[in-house]
Amino acid sequence: MVGSIKKNEFKYESEKLAMMYYRVAIILLGAQLLMGMIIAIQFLYPAFLFEIFDFSVARMVHINALVVWMLFAMIGSVYLLLPSETGIETVAVGVGKLLFWVFTAAITVVVLVYIFVQVGAGTEASIWLIHEGREYIEAPRWADIGIVVVVLGFIYNVYATAIKGRRTGIITVMMANLLALAGLYLAGMFFTTNITVDQFWWWWVIHLWVEATWEVYVATVAAWSLIQILGAKRQIVEMWLWIEVAMLFGSGILGMGHHYFWIGTPEYWWEIGALFSALEPVPLVAMLVHVIYDWGKEAGRQGGKAHMTNTPAFVWIVANAFGNFLGAGVWGFFHTLPQVNIYTHGTQFTSSHGHLAFWGAYATILIGMFYMGLQRAYGVKTMKATFNFKMAVWLLNGGMLGMTVALLISGYGQVLVERAQFGATWEGFFISQNAIWFVQGMGWRLAMGAVMLVGFIFLIIDLLTIGKNAKLSETVAKA
């Protein structure tokens, strides 16, 4: 019986390429969590791995692994939905595969250099060969150029396929957005000796990725998935998609001002940043409404029971709607006004927001996409929730929420002791680092990280088994 299950039921090679990207993404997610545990331990026991694998290096690997696994999962998801939307095979799928191997090899070299070489003298050579020292996008310049080549090949594939095949609203938004997403990377590739100017451009990558182009990306992927999973009406999801594009770019571009408060840019950024970044949660609420609305409408149409072809993916998409709203919208809004930010800037409060936002807005839906890929890989009609899936959902999301609250408490400790009481002095910093609220929050963060790690193990087990089991039960049902 098991022998009759074909492992590979892809209709298109492009879908197979998507799974290749997903596999690397999941390995990097695991690496990210392990690095997170190391730095969380170092917060409590500073001597841990001291001068062997320092905090600065482990932290860099933690957040670079984050960015890279998300980029891999994003590229993978485009290759997954491209044939289904355009109705044809990706035109240069062979080139796509070659670029995948180039990309993976380059990332492996970069990570090995991070881990084994770690730091250099801070010269032109170390910028080219070790890392650039720019948070989140530290990749050395040779890798920057490599990434640009790989992404150009990827974008060619998307454009050529879309031009040859059917061009839906989802694909049109995807085409425009990918160009913006890739173009912004260039803003992080050159150097200026003025640190204010340098930070100014660095934010063009970071902020305009996470608060504009990545959000639009997620909206396109969610729109496609909802059509696949619920049979949602294309006109409805595409209408919301266009509204969100307009709102996200509107609020996101000027909302960037909330990073210009204290870096030496002109003071008019206080007003611009405050106003437009405070508007940013509006499209995030719209997105939440979007998913729930489609869901309810579909359920109504189907007599109270929505037809659902992929429960695990759907649950992660719902987690995404809530997580995006909470992590980016609510947690972001908390500290986005300069009057508040002057106290919270760069505290664990920021880390609390950073974790919940990245998790809620991106990790969740990309994990959902892994399940969309598996469904196609095994050619199953419906994917149902399994025990391992449920454990993964509860432990990963519960762990992340717990971690966020722990960081919030530590952050409040810093705001009150270090900033309010001691007026942001050097002495105040050290007093607050040793205060009981701060230290206990750090302890709970570590504990919640361990919960996430257990959840991750359930996720891996589920991803490795769910497709085969679903196929097996469908084959049995047919026989």
Site string for Fe ion, 137-166 (x = CB under 5 A): ------------------------------
Nearest approach in angstroms of CB 446 to Fe ion is 27
Instruction: Pick what 317 binds: Fe ion, ligand HEM, none; C-beta below 5 to 8 Å, kind-dependent.
Output: none
Q: Taking contact as CB under 5 A, which single stretch among the options 205-213, 221-229, 430-438, 456-464 is the one that binds Fe ion?
A: 205-213
Q: How many CB atoms lie within 10 A of CB 194?
A: 10
Residue with token string 């959000």:
215
- Tokens representing 310 are 């992929």
- Quickly count: other Cβ atoms within 10 Å of residue 105's Cβ: 11
The H or E element that residue 22 is part of is helix 13-44
Residue with Cβ nearer ligand HEM (159 or 262): 262
Return d(Cα 274, Cα 270) in angstroms, integer: 6
Closest to 321 measured CA to CA, from 273, 284, 288, 345: 288
Write out the DSSP string of 185-239. Answer: HGGGS---S-HHHHHHHHHHHHHHIIIIIHHHHHHHHHHHHHHHHH---HHHHHH
Distance between CA atoms of 294 and 287, rounded to whole angstroms? Answer: 11
| C-beta of residue 207 within 8 angstroms of C-beta of residue 256 | yes
Cβ distance to Fe ion smaller for residue 276 or 438: 276
Total residues in contact with Fe ion, by rule CB under 5 A: 2
Interface ranges with ligand HEM (CB under 6 A): 33, 36-37, 39-40, 43, 59, 62-63, 66, 135, 210-211, 258-259, 277, 280-281, 328-329, 332-333, 335-336, 341, 345-346, 350-351, 353-355, 357-359, 361, 363, 449, 452-453
* SS3 at position 310: strand
What is the closest distance, in whole angstroms, from the C-beta atom of residue 291 to ligand HEM in the complex? Answer: 15
Q: In this complex, which beta carbon is closest to Fe ion, that of residue 218 or of residue 452?
A: 218
| Nearer Cβ to Fe ion (148/272) | 272
Q: How many CA atoms lie within 13 A of 191 on its CB side?
A: 12
467 binds, among Fe ion, ligand HEM, none (CB under 5 to 8 A by kind): none
Indicate which of Fe ion, ligand HEM, none lies near residue 332 (CB less than 5 to 8 Å, by partner kind).
ligand HEM
Smallest separation (angstroms) from ligand HEM to the CB of 159: 26
Q: Which does 319 bind (CB under 5 to 8 A by kind): Fe ion, ligand HEM, none?
A: none
Q: Tell me the two tokens of residue 157.
A: 């594939």
**Contacting range for Fe ion; rule: CB under 5 A; set: 139-147, 211-219, 410-418, 438-446:** 211-219
Report in angstroms how near the CB of residue 199 gets to ligand HEM at its nearest.
10
Contact between 274 and 296 (Cβ < 8 Å):
no
Between 211 and 294, name the residue whose CB sits nearer to Fe ion.
211
Q: Please tell me whether residue 335 binds Fe ion under the rule CB under 5 A.
A: no
Best CA proximity match to 144, nearest among 197, 92, 191, 192: 191
Nearest distance, CB of residue 178 and ligand HEM, angstroms? 18
Q: Which is nearer to ligand HEM, 345 or 384 (CB)?
A: 345
- Tell me which of 62, 131, 134, 207 binds Fe ion, using CB under 5 A: 207
Nearer to ligand HEM, 227 or 396 (CB): 396
Partner that binds at residue 107, options Fe ion, ligand HEM, none, CB closer than 5 to 8 Å by kind: none
Q: 232 contacts which partner out of Fe ion, ligand HEM, none, CB within 5 to 8 A by kind?
A: none
Which residues, other chains included, contact 134 with Cβ-Cβ below 8 Å and sequence gap of 6+?
A: 188, 202
Q: How far apart are CA 421 and CA 415, in angstroms?
A: 8
Q: Vertex 292, ends 290 and 295: CA angle to 5°? A: 105
**Distance (Å, whole) CA 363 – CA 32:** 12
Q: Nearest residue by C-beta to ligand HEM?
A: 332
Rounded to a whole number of angstroms, the minimum distance from the CB of residue 320 to Fe ion is: 19
Can you tell me the distance from the alpha carbon of 66 to that of 82, in angstroms, rounded to the nearest whole number?
24
> What are the residues binding Fe ion (CB under 5 A)?
207, 211
